A and B are shown apart, each in its own frame.
Chain A
């Protein structure tokens, strides 16, 4: 009697399990469609050549309350260009990057950037904007770069570990791959973030002071990635402080001092005359900073 009931119940249980699994799969798919930016892991929407699109800005202005971060910015970060954004403190460089990345909405003007809409834009914030105490290891941090492959709820693809190892090796951090980020030095942490950028495979890469407080050898290593990205046809924009570095490695420069002073080929933009003008325009009558984002 008991065994008969069990035999009858077995297929019932199995079909119930199948139904539940199907339900779970459907829920997961629906969820991904709504919350994961509608991304389909099987479609490759990476465009090539000039199609990757640079960034065009028209009459862009940003204000923090009464104070203007920058204004009247019009121009183009051309596709596959490598641009340095240079300017005095409080000139609105970091704010500009945040607007380009879609983090802050500008007061007026527009940004045309197809990479942003296609989630093909990568933004590297200043280091102190990330919580270094966060309990995450280097491998986990780097693996996030492949987010588009697994999203919020899907299983991670089987090849992820290999890709992560390769990226971590490429930035020279293999020995620290399983260490929590709290134990990394500033330079090592920046290397880890660059490894994440490698996985992210973005068309447009925005870097906010990527070399601040880094030693020479780390800077040299990371600069090579910027050049490689440009050769691969990606649009790279980096906020810099070091004029020599800009002259040596960056073909294009935007000199910004609340208003654009010069935007074009680096030797033409970074003349002594332009730099002096930038200092004068930006010399702030009051000494308040635009918060930590200045």
Chain B
């Protein structure tokens, strides 16, 4: 039994690296995903995960598989789209979701066109779905750095981040500098999506961020427990997904996201009764 659980990781270095990378991602994704859900911005998160593609693809076009260039490109295009979306949202708040979808479609097709023009089918699959098992030590260090920075930033700015998502007008009225914290949070989301992008690709990068947090929210409404539980669920899903992909010879990224999805489904069914309690009593 023990051998079944840890055997693959003892035998293969790449499995160990993949597991550690997923754990590091889960540590940052728990808090970020929880905040994203609290702000009701899961759609924004999904769009940003695709906004990373054009930059990363351009980086790939010029420098091939260079981690630094891919990351920087992804980060820049993610932040650019976030900025544009914020501008559009200010001028036409009622069309926010429509413009988000437009950004999502345009970024994705643009990125895929660039990759397809230069690279192979395998490159395309790598961009779309990532390759957890191909995470090397350099990428692992990058992921670890991003998670550490994210956790420190959330610990430092938790209070204004939470208040800004609940009542931005209030924060502005008392001089709390709401816009700055929105920008900080979006930057954190993009950073983590860039980190996830290496392992899960553009289509699934949002999965390890949102699904564990959504599952954790079924069990508790308090924020810190939700964040901690989301991290644990993310780790469990990573372990289960990697094992399944190893034994059943299935792609590892989708297996991990699938694992998180199953946990979410079970959680919402199991906790369904309490969540359906009407408010106001």
Contact = CB atoms under 8 A, between A and B. Distances in A.
Interface of A: 34-39, 101-103, 119, 121-123, 125, 130-132, 134-136, 144, 147-148, 151-153, 180, 182-186, 200, 202, 291
A126 B162 CA distance: 20
B279 interface: yes
Interface of B: 38, 40, 94, 156-157, 159-160, 162-163, 165-167, 169-177, 180-181, 221-223, 226, 279-281
A186 B180 CA distance: 32
A67 B160 CA distance: 35
Main secondary structure of the interface of B (DSSP, over half): helix
Contacts of A185: 280-281
Given A35-B180, A153-B156, A185-B281, 16 more contacts: A35-B177, A36-B176, A37-B174, A102-B173, A125-B167, A131-B166, A134-B38, A135-B222, A135-B223, A144-B167, A147-B171, A147-B174, A148-B174, A153-B157, A184-B279, A185-B280
Nearest to A121: B173
Given A135-B226, A148-B174, A153 B169 contact: no
B279 A39 contact: no
Contact of B177 (A37, A123, A135, A180): A37
15 contacts: A34-B177, A35-B181, A37-B177, A39-B175, A125-B167, A135-B38, A135-B222, A136-B166, A144-B170, A152-B159, A183-B280, A184-B279, A185-B281, A186-B280, A291-B94
B281 A183 contact: yes
Nearest to A122: B173
Contacts of B177: 34-37, 152
A144 B160 CA distance: 10
A152 B172 CA distance: 12
A50 to B, nearest CB: 22
Contacts of A132: 279
B175 A131 contact: no
A101 B173 contact: yes
Contacts of B279: 132, 182-184
Nearest to B171: A147
A37 B172 CA distance: 9
Given A132-B279, A152-B157, A153-B157, A123 B169 contact: yes
A122 B175 CA distance: 11
Contacts of B174: 37, 119, 147-148, 200
A103 B167 CA distance: 12
A136 to B, nearest CB: 6
B186 to A, nearest CB: 16
Contacts of B38: 134-135
B169 A125 contact: yes
Contacts of A186: 280
A148 B163 CA distance: 13
B280 to A, nearest CB: 5
Contacts of A202: 173
B173 A135 contact: no
A124 to B, nearest CB: 9
Nearest to B34: A135
Nearest to B184: A35
Contacts of A123: 169-170, 173
Contacts of B170: 123, 144, 147
A130 B166 contact: yes
Contact of A147 (B176, B222, B223): B176
A102 B169 CA distance: 9
A117 B175 CA distance: 9
B62 to A, nearest CB: 37
A152 B176 contact: yes
Nearest to B94: A291
Most buried by A among B174, B181, B221: B174
B183 to A, nearest CB: 11
Contacts of A153: 156-157, 159-160
A35 B164 CA distance: 13
A182 B173 contact: no
Contacts of A39: 175
A146 B170 CA distance: 11
A123 B169 CA distance: 8
B172 to A, nearest CB: 7
A152 B181 CA distance: 10
Nearest to B161: A152
B180 to A, nearest CB: 5
Nearest to A125: B169
Contacts of A34: 177
Given A135-B221, A135-B222, A153-B156, A184 B175 contact: no
Top 5 closest A-B pairs, CB basis? A37-B175, A119-B175, A152-B160, A35-B177, A147-B174
A66 B172 CA distance: 28
Contacts of B180: 35
A292 B171 CA distance: 21
Nearest to A183: B279
Nearest to B91: A65
Contacts of A38: 175
